[in-house]
Each structure stands twice: as structure tokens, then as C-alpha cells.
Amino acid sequence: MILSGPGAEFNDEKVLLHRMSAGDTNAFSTIYKLNSPKVYYYALKIAKNDTLAQEIVQDVFIKIWGLGEQLNSIENFQGYLRIVTRNYTLKVLRRIAIEFQASKMTTHNYQEGHNDTEEYVIFKDSERILNEAVEKLPAQQKLVYQLCHQEGLKYEEVAERLNLSKLTVKTHMQLALRFLRNYVSNHTDIAVLIILLNLLSEKN
């Protein structure tokens, strides 16, 4: 069915969605071909990861296919695609960050046997970026950060070791974290950023 004139594209889309809602795989194939590049672009813009964006395209369209008759109630399909892609991409990135924390991938005990996984690549990237940022800290802030975050000392313990007041240690730490957050925000994609920002929370 070919329509022409004002609103033809919209009407074609509505017809395709209606046919899709009834289980028409040809209509689904057409919708997929027309819109998968847009979904890929939306996902890539957020995730900054080609492999992840490609996987998200597949998952988003599987979700859309599963809507069935609900497809008929979608008034703005393009807007719907953007929202679903954004939400799903952020959900995937949050899951990656949670899995990183749960598996303690930020410790030196992470097994080298996992080094062929995408998660390990992202982990090593986050580790590299954070190390770069730490090296750029002023000497005192760097020392306080290393004692607090890397050795796990409390502010009181760091203050005693460095012969500083607890308030001074806290100030150094807050300044260090502010710099590190800004640095990683400007030097990484969102998957790594979520992980690093979780790591760069004040813990004392």
C-alpha cells in the first residue's frame, strides 16, 4: 500500500504498526529497516559503544514486536522509539555498573581469565582513566586520596598519619574528588563514567 501527499509517511507508519500488531512479520521487517539506524544512533549517542549499541537495537525491536496490539495505541512512534531506546540504554549501563561492583572488578583480585570480555575492556579503560586523573592531582590531594580511597583509611587516621587536622584532610579529599569527577566526565563514555562516579563517592 503506497500513499502520497501530506501525512503519507505518518499514515504508512500507522498502517505498518497496525499490521505488525496482528503479527505481520513483513511489516515488522519494514519497520525495522526504516528505523533501526535511528535506534542505533540514539543508543550510540548515549553509550558511546558500537557493540553495545548494536545489541540494544536488537533488544529494542524485540520489545516492540512483543507489544502486539498495544502498538495501535502509540500516537508518536518516533518519539516512542527515542524514549524506549534511551531508557533501555541507561538500564543496560546501570546493570553493567552494578555487575562491576558486585563482582569486585575494581580490586586487584579480578581474574585475568576474563580479559577477553567486553566488561573487562570497559573495566581496564575505567582503571586507566582514573589513574590518569589521580596523577594530575596536587601532591597533598593525591596523597590524601590514595590513603582514603586506595588504602581505606578514615579521615581521622589520615589526619594522624600526616599530622593534619581532620577538617584539612576532608577538604583535600573533597577537592580531589571534585577534580577527579570533572576529569572522568570529560574523558570517557557513559558506561565507564557511571562506574567511575560510583567509585568517586565520598566514603568517610
Tens-place pLDDT, residues 113-126: 444 455 555 556 66
Distance CA 129, CA 140 (A): 20
The H or E element containing residue 59 is helix 50-65
Contact of 63 with 84, CB cutoff 8 Å: yes
Tens-place pLDDT, residues 116-153: 455 555 556 667 777 888 899 999 999 998 888 777 78
Mean pLDDT by groups of 10 residues along the chain of 204 residues? 40 87 89 92 84 86 90 91 89 70 48 50 68 89 86 87 91 87 69 56 58
CB atoms near residue 19 (< 10 Å): 18
CA distances from 195 to 113, 135, 138, 179 (A): 21, 19, 24, 16
Q: Which of 93, 94, 83 is nearest to 60 (CA)?
A: 83
CATH T-level assignment (fold) for domain 112-199: Arc Repressor Mutant, subunit A (1.10.10)
CATH T-level assignment (fold) for domain 8-102: Rna Polymerase Sigma Factor; Chain: A (1.10.1740)
DSSP-derived secondary structure letter, 114: G
Distance CA 65, CA 60 (A): 9
Distance CA 40, CA 53 (A): 6
Sequence spans of domains, the chain? 8-102, 112-199
Q: Which of 176, 187, 159, 201 is nearest to 48 (CA)?
A: 187
Distance CA 100, CA 204 (A): 22
**Angle subtended at Cα 50 by Cα 48 and Cα 55, rounded to the nearest 5 degrees:** 110
